[in-house]
Structure 1
């Protein structure tokens, strides 16, 4: 194990949780962003406890440091390992996150003592670079995994993702006209709130199916 890190955990837990989801933030927003707050509340309403944390670079931002880019992947993965260890007393643990946080979770899901993985807006490739896919490990992923994705996500549109060779352990939930934050265009007649509710329903169904 690398350098021991201390994580401030944000617990949003119902009275009798059926499972716990350790939820990591995306590259640019903290663990208490509006997206993360809403998802945590919706999942708690479905009796799923949510435990949030921040990667080291985001912790430093919060405590007065300058705005820094995300840590390198080895640091992010080690953070995940230590958070899972810190939460080892919890039952029925799943890991996941928004965008980068979910991608990092998927990279370690097979080595961790967890029930499965949840990715909310998976960054299949960098913006405007569809040729640089981040899917190699997803071909052999064994941990049950749910990816919730907007159909027009700039980091992985439906027509792109459907061409990828993904593990059979991965299930996809598509949110019509949703972007990377699940926000649809006004002309679609849909709302981001509707999509967030649909995402929470999909996560709850997925978790129920793995326990």
Structure 2
């Protein structure tokens, strides 16, 4: 599926359960793709919980670029494609997610998108070796929207403070791109999907 945005077309991989309970829109890191094992672990958990899962290849990646470019334009395109997906699945609660740069996008746009929660995989708290350039404000931006962060214990991009998230899970000895721990990722997000899908019950 392709969705046109102001930054160009985005490509969407859709997985739909029989009776959807919520919509998860999740995306990749700066130079990565939507088949990363941690993203697939989240997708599988969401499907088991009754979610429609849209794995988004953002316009810059669909065009073959590795750098996302201007953050404001990236966020604008994200909100456009999320709006198109919400129109396709009206009435479903929205959950956003992403890994690395995609986690930043999901956090920055959560309020504007009307998300109930955010799954942030390998949130890059700061550039490697530059803790003074913290992106903590992006985690706090969702104000009231629950953000669940899952990072590797050896991530050179840093690990957020537990006080800044609804839940922080650190997988020991894992770098920025997880090599193991996918069962932990699945176990972490599953109860959150159940919660977010039934907040109005």
Task: Return the TM-score normalized by structure 2.
Answer: 0.82
Alignment of 1:37-116 (within 5 A): 37-61=40-64, 67-89=65-87, 90=89, 91-116=92-117
Aligned to 2:122: 121
Render the CA deviation track for 1:32-87: whole Å, top value 9, x for unaligned.
345434542343234333101122210111xxxxx442221012101210111011
- Please provide the CA RMSD for this pair: 2.3
Aligned to 1:172: 168
**Conserved? CA contact 1:5–1:82, under 8 Å:** no
Number of positions where the alignment pairs a residue of Structure 1 with one of Structure 2: 189
Deviation at 1:4, TM superposition (A): 7.0
The partner residue of 1:8 within 6, 11, 28 is: 11
- Which shifted more, 19-28 or 136-145? 136-145
Q: Segments of 4+ in structure 1 off by > 4 A?
A: none
Higher relative contact order (CA 8 A, sep 6+): 2
Structure 1 residues 151 and 42: CA distance shift in structure 2, 3 A: same
Structure 1 residues 154 and 39: CA distance shift in structure 2, 3 A: same
Deviation at 1:175, TM superposition (A): 1.8
The partner residue of 1:204 within 185, 190, 197 is: 190
Q: Secondary structure at the match of 1:8?
A: strand
Deviation at 1:204, TM superposition (A): 1.7
Asked which structure has the greater CA Rg, the reply is 1
Q: Secondary structure at the match of 1:207?
A: helix
Greater percentage in strand: 2
Deviation at 1:92, TM superposition (A): 1.6
**Conserved? CA contact 2:7–2:74, under 8 Å:** no
Gaps of 5+ in 1: 62-66, 184-191
